[in-house]
Homo-oligomer: A and B are copies of this chain.
């Protein structure tokens, strides 16, 4: 079956997941452009494996990005342009968010 591009094509585990769940504020202020740019930058980061994202009209959304190692996650977190986006996100775009970093041990599809 052809798989929708919404799904990340990942290698076999183990690898790492950053589970980012967020509630947006009502204001946009450049959010969409930043989100596109961050995805473009993430894709160029060493160790980036893929990402999946679902957002509701309510403002609640979940993005899971997948990485080869904890080191690649730390390097992405420390990226200068990403840090600036994180700061703006805290101030303007997110009413609340939760980040969970996890080691994927098993995966299967249906």
Contact = CB atoms under 8 A, between A and B. Distances in A.
A33 interface: no
Interface residues of A, number: 41
A102 B102 contact: yes
A64 interface: yes
Q: Is the interface of A mostly helix, strand, loop or mixed?
A: strand
Contacts of A17: 17, 19, 100, 102
Count of this chain's copies in the oligomeric assembly: 2
A36 interface: no
A54 to B, nearest CB: 4
A108 B18 CA distance: 11
A10 B98 CA distance: 10
